[in-house]
Amino acid sequence: MQTLLDALFSPLWTPVLVGVLIGLLAFAQRWLADQPLSCSTGFANLAGRLKPGATRDSQDDWRIVFLLGILLGGVIAALTDGAPGWQGTAAEFGRFYSALVPDSTLGSAIWWLVGGLLIGLGARLAGGCTSGHTIAGVAMGAPASLVASAVFFAVAVGTAQLAAWMLGV
């Protein structure tokens, strides 16, 4: 399984190396800009600006620029990994998501959209996501971030394991 995944999604870097780099990067934001890693707040700001009649606060532009950067980073990563582009095959999604997500175009679009809604809504109600709460917040020893991260993982793992068992995959 591991060699198969490596072949499909190469090149993946050694987990510890990527982890160290992400940890250093997240700290560099605090050192250079005194601003912890944050993703979901940027989505909320962007949503607020897209609303008709919204006023724009240029003080928060950097949050949206950061999101744009993540997208650009994905472009660069895909162009430089020497692997064929994404085709959306069952092998690329893995057997769990291939079995879980509806097959029809409309059904899968609704599935992804509703899943995204839960993610966005949940992150705002919790006050952060895997970036703000888990990577940044837990590193700063914030009790609320520890609780939020524990719930993120417990619910995601529990749901996935239950779904895998029900689907028989």
Buried/exposed code over 53-80 (b: 16+ C-beta within 10 A; e: otherwise): eeeeeeebeebeebbeeeeeeeeeeeee
The Cα-based distances of 84 to 1, 9, 10, 165 in angstroms read 19, 9, 10, 32
If one asks whether residue 107 binds another protein (CB under 8 A), the answer comes out as: no
By beta-carbon proximity to another protein, the closer residue of 13 and 55 is 13
Residue 29 in contact with residue 36, Cβ under 8 Å? yes
| Binding flag, residue 15, another protein (CB under 8 A) | yes
How far out from the chain centre does Cα 104 lie? 24
- Figure out which of the listed residues 57, 102, 107, 155 binds another protein, where binding follows CB under 8 A: 155
The answer for 168, left when phi > 0, alpha when psi is -120 to 50, beta otherwise, is left
Q: Which of 42, 45, 69, 66 is nearest to 57 (CA)?
A: 45
Is residue 163 within the footprint of another protein (CB under 8 A)?
A: yes
Please identify, using beta-carbon distances, which residue of 55 and 127 lies nearer to another protein: 127
- Residues 30-69 interacting with another protein (rule: CB under 8 A): 30-34, 36-37, 39-40, 43-44, 46-48, 50-51, 58, 61-63, 65-69
**Residues of this chain, 113-132, that bind another protein according to CB under 8 A:** 113-132
If binding is defined by CB under 8 A, does position 166 make contact with another protein?
Answer: no
Helices 105-126 and 40-50 cross at an angle (nearest 10°) of: 110
Question: How many Å apart are CA 128 and CA 120, to the nearest integer?
Answer: 10
Q: If binding is defined by CB under 8 A, does position 7 make contact with another protein?
A: no
CB of 5 to another protein, least distance (A): 7
Measured from the CB atom, is 104 or 125 closer to another protein?
Answer: 125
Return the residues of window 74-103 that contact another protein according to CB under 8 A: 74-78, 81, 85-86, 88, 91-97, 100
Q: Contact with another protein (CB under 8 A): which of 57, 102, 107, 108?
A: 108
